[in-house]
Amino acid sequence: MFSITCRLLPYFKGFCSSPELILLFVYMKCRFSLSYRDLEEMMRMRGAKIDHSTLQRWVIKFIPLIDQEDKKKKTPRW
């Protein structure tokens, strides 16, 4: 999974939900190919009322960030 560093915290400024929760649901959307409405239902089970369109905006915003961070972690191999 993806961890939050101090360098990434400014990207999450202004969101009502915690960065950990946002990244959890972005990860779940990408890894398990769930629908946004399924994720919305899972959010309700965790006690957060977040609309499926908000989840979609999170995925659109944070996928490039995750991809960029993932590319930085990869080391060149022979």
Q: Identify the pLDDT of residue 10.
A: 82
Please give the helix or strand (H or E) that residue 52 lies within, else none. helix 52-73
Nearest CA-CA partner of 27 in 69, 77, 73, 72: 69
Q: Identify the pLDDT of residue 68.
A: 78
- Angle, in degrees to the nearest 10, between helices 36-45 and 19-32: 140
Sign of CA dihedral 67, 19, 24, 44: negative
pLDDT tier, 2 (very low <50, low <70, confident <90, very high otherwise): low
Q: Identify the pLDDT of residue 1.
A: 57
Residue-wise pLDDT tens digits, 7-25: 778 888 888 888 888 888 8
Q: What is the pTM of this model?
A: 0.76
Residue-wise pLDDT tens digits, 30-39: 889 889 999 9
